[in-house]
Amino acid sequence: MIVIDLDKAKALTKDRLRAERTPLLAAQDVLFQRALESGSDTAAIVAEKQRLRDITSQVDACTTTDELKALSCAIPVVAEVVPEPAPEPEPEGEA
């Protein structure tokens, strides 16, 4: 039987998340500087940087390896459902 050390799995997950967020934080730093230079609002950028910094704290609440695997720095994307256009009726007299 294979026994998984959850504390070790948590440490590995924190390392994975730190590596995953490094380029994301760097990109947010660039956006922050550009926003400052143009006088734009930085609130969303600051919030995203804080979300990325806090991601490793979620690891401590996990109780299974499946929960650890599910953690990611990626922002969940919600697809917008766009209805398909209704088919155009055929002109009368043509068949």
24 is written with which tokens?
């994301």
% residues pLDDT > 70 (the chain): 85
Say what the pLDDT of residue 16 is: 96
- Distance CA(73)–CA(79), nearest Å, equals 18
Q: Which amino acid is at 13?
A: T
Tell me the per-residue pLDDT of 18-61, one tens digit each, with 9 for 90 and over. Answer: 999 999 999 999 999 999 999 999 999 999 999 999 999 999 99
Rounded to 10 degrees, what is the CA torsion of 9, 12, 18, 21? -70
- pTM greater than the 0.85 cutoff: no
Q: What is the DSSP string of 21-73?
A: HHHHHHHHHHHHHHHHHHT---HHHHHHHHHHHHGGGGGGG--SHHHHHH--S
- Distance CA(74)–CA(16), nearest Å, equals 13
- Distance CA(52)–CA(20), nearest Å, equals 10
